[in-house]
Every structure is written in structure tokens, then in C-alpha cells.
Amino acid sequence: MYKQTALRLHQQFLDKKISAEEIVRYFLQRIEKLNGQVGAFLSVFPERALTQARALDQKRASGGKLGRLAGVPVGIKDNIHVQGELTTCSSKFLANYRAVFDATVTKLLEGEGAIILGKTNLDEFAMGSSTENSALQSTSNPWNLDCVPGGSSGGSTAAVAARLCPITLGSDTGGSVRQPAAFCGVVGFKPSYGRVSRYGLVAFGSSLDQIGPIAATTEEISMVMEVLGQHDVHDATSLPLHAEDYLSLIQAPIRGKKIGVPWQFLQDLPAEAKENFLKALEVMKGHGCEVVDVDLNILKYAVATYYIIATAEASTNLARFDGIRFGVRSKRAETLEQVYDYSRTEGFGPEVKKRIFLGTYVLSAGYQDAYYKQAAKVRVKIIDEFNRAFEQCDAIATPVSPTPAFKKGAIQDPLEMYLQDIYTIGVNLARLPAISVPSGFSKAKMPFGFQIIGARHEDALVCRLAHAYEKAAPYGLEVPPQFDKEV
């Protein structure tokens, strides 16, 4: 069962070949046996999941209407609310916080019959590119347990790669769905900003964050997007668009589509990554696509721009964590000032503190004009350059990351770590849809990812191009050897 896609599991449930309870028990057993090796799940909800599964089986038996995700197990990144369950954001600060409401995506998934198995690990408050910043648990890459899974959605991608569940949700602020998906050899989709509701997502960078699905195939991504990709009145940034029929749209041919490649921006791409990228482009050419050169050299400023805007928004969003309203309060605090001071000192990890300091600095009275406002202007220029590029092509292709997954602890320089997201950050700044599709392996047998970027609101086209690529190069169906077994 672990090798079957979510679509196949859903169909078998509809055909009464298997019950929802059998599906849930199977994956709960797999998590129990294998999660200790990979550290993907922070918490598991066996009673909740089995109760939902039995209710689904009863609905099927009585002839009730079954949802589009009926019988499909899912995992949720632990910065997305599930009512009554812990939302820790992998931080000591929220180790005792139980969500008092469901995120919109949670309601939509369960409303269509999906069954939530548990919450997955992440970099603390989604701040990181390796999931090494989690304060609660270490997560490993299923292809090599000595390597990082990427971040910040490393737990979600590792769960899919190890086949602990077929679908998970992550959040993508600067590449945090796509980069770990590439590192773990699965598919990760970052929708257009506002295409999926952020209501119930613990905010990191409010103008950058976007919830996105992770799975082994683009068909499964499309299956989830049909449910999640709709307007939400609770989210002021939600796009007033209706859900699209992704599963039908991705089947259309892509012959004649123009794929833009920013060759000048990619000139420093390492040799092995470049070879992999060129092979991926050949696959697209084989489908009748034309590859054209586009100018996106402005993206060399994207990392600096991102880390000014993202940290500024983070320092504002994290101001609510004060030890008063919710979260863990310092036990040694005796005065109000000490409550604030000690709770934050003890609750936040080093990476979170670093970003709060930087964000507060760039927003301070003496430096806001020099840094934050300048970064906002560059962001507008980045959006303009993408718009000009899309006048010449239908989609843009780049690698996801300059390297495959690296060993744990291998990168100590913060700037070197930030550059892991150099090819993904521009997408968030410009609010575009993008997908990471597995594109083969390095000499060390670690996965590479191929990124397809679309114009804003062209989410279905991005999935369509990715699906066409997959048909010729189905790397996402490969399971890491250590986890390619029944338990």
C-alpha cells in the first residue's frame, strides 16, 4: 500500500476494495515502525484518525456522499492549526499550545474526507533551510540519514519520501516547500500568493508565506489543489477565484509552450547541477516545448531583498509571543518586564532571535529608509522583471537548489545557508506559482529538483508542465531503499 498514490488509494476506497480504517491503520503502523529513523512526525493522532476513518466507512456503507479526498491520509506541518491539537512550530515557546480553531486548509481537507495522521517537524517558526533549527526533534533525509531533508518543511517532505503518508502540507516563505521537496526527491508546489488560504497558518512573513501540498506525483498535487485552491472570506489576502479542475487541465498537451531560462543568472550553477538541469530541459524539448533565454539577472539581489523584508515581517509577527497571552511563560520571572525578557530568551532559538534582531534593526527609525524601503522598491523591480520575462515565454525553468542535500552540520556560515534558496526566493517576492519536480540523482545518489515557475494565477499551467515532465521522467515514484519495504 505504501507505493500507491493518493489517487489510487482514494479509488480503492470508493470501489470498496479497502476500508478507510484499514488505510489508516496501515500508515499508522508504518509511522510507528519507521518514524524513529527519519524523525518526520512530531506528533501522531491515532485515535482522531481512526475515529474519522470509521465515520467515513459508515458514510460509505450508508450510501452517503464521499469527498474528493475520501480515505486519503495526510500530514500537516506543525505551524498549521488543527483544532485541539498542539501547534508547536517546533519551538519551546509553543510546546504547550493547543490550537483553538482549525486552519481553513484543515477544514477543507477533512471536509473532503482526508484523514489527518499527525503534525510534521520544521525549522522553528519555519525559519531555516535544513530543519536543523527545530527545537524539538531532528529530521533526516530518507535517501541518506546523515543528510538534512531541507527546510523549513523538512518533516513534511521526509514523511512523503519515506512513504509514511502519501500527502502532506507545508508552508513556503522563500522556498520552504520546493527546496526540501527537491532534497527528498518528491514534488512540492508553491501556489500563487493568495490561491490557498493562510488563515490558521502561524505567520512568518505575511506577504511571502503560502501553504502548499507535497506528494510523490503532480497528479496528487492537483488532487489537493482542487480542494484547497479556493477563496476564503477569513483571509484578507485570499484571491477571489473559484477552484479549478486541475486533474483535467494537467492532461492537456504542452507542445508549443515556451520555457524561459535565465541563463545569465544561472552562470555560476555548479557543474553537476547544471548537467542535471540541461537533461531536464531536453525532456521538455521532447514534449515540443521551445527553450528561450530571458533576462532575470535582477534576481542576484533577491536574497538580500528577501532577508530584509522577511525578517522585518517576522519581527513584527513574533512580537505577539510575550509569555502573557499564550505559550510557555518563564518560571523564573518575577516582574512584568522579566516575563517578556525571560520568556523570549528561553523560548526562542538562536536562528529565530537572529532574524528578530535583524528585522527590528531594518525597521528602526534610523535605518528603515536605508534598508526596508529600499528592499520594497527592489521587490517591485523584481516583479516587473518577471512580468517582462513572461511576455516572452509561458513559464520559466531553473534548478531548485545549487546542490543536492548536504550533510547535517556541514553549513555553519549563515550566508552560505541563505544562498541555498537563491533560486526559490524570487518566486515568493513576486507572488508567483512554482513547483519542484524530481529530476534525477547526483553521483552520490541524492535527488535533484527541477523548478517550473508560472505567471501569477497560472497555477494549473505550472502543474500541467510538471505533469508532462513526469510522464517522461517519473523519479518521484522511486522510494529510498531504506524505506522501500513493508513493516
Which positions are annotated as active-site residues? 77, 152, 176
C-alpha dist (Å) from residue 319 to 27, 186, 323, 360: 38, 35, 10, 10
How far apart are the C-alpha atoms of 179 and 480, rounded to whole Å?
18
User: Residue 203 has what DSSP assignment?
Assistant: P
| The three three-digit cell numbers of residue 474, written as one number | 517519473
| The three three-digit cell numbers of residue 479, written as one number | 522510494
User: Residue 279 has what DSSP assignment?
Assistant: H
**What type of residue is 22?**
E
How far apart are the C-alpha atoms of 293 and 97, rounded to whole Å?
49
How far apart are the C-alpha atoms of 395 and 384, rounded to whole Å?
15
Going by C-alpha positions, the residue among 51, 141, 224, 147 that lies closest to residue 482 is 141
Going by C-alpha positions, the residue among 186, 127, 128 that lies closest to residue 156 is 186
What residues have CB less than 8 Å from 168, skipping those under 6 apart? 74, 75, 76, 77, 120, 153, 156, 157, 159, 160, 213, 214, 215
One DSSP character per residue, 102-157 reads --HHHHHHHHTT-EEEEEE--SGGG--SSSTT-SS----BTTBTTB---SSSHHHH
CB atoms within 10 A of CB 100: 10
C-alpha dist (Å) from residue 199 to 78, 206, 279: 14, 11, 39
How far apart are the C-alpha atoms of 414 and 121, rounded to whole Å?
21
Going by C-alpha positions, the residue among 302, 280, 307, 299 that lies closest to residue 291 is 280
How far apart are the C-alpha atoms of 229 and 231, rounded to whole Å?
7
How far apart are the C-alpha atoms of 369 and 13, rounded to whole Å?
58
Helix (H, G, I), strand (E, B) or coil at 17: coil
Q: Tell the residue number behind the cell numbers 477569513, with chain if given.
A: 234
User: Residue 319 has what DSSP assignment?
Assistant: G
How far apart are the C-alpha atoms of 143 and 479, rounded to whole Å?
8
Question: Which sign, positive or negative, has the C-alpha torsion 114, 120, 123, 128?
Answer: negative
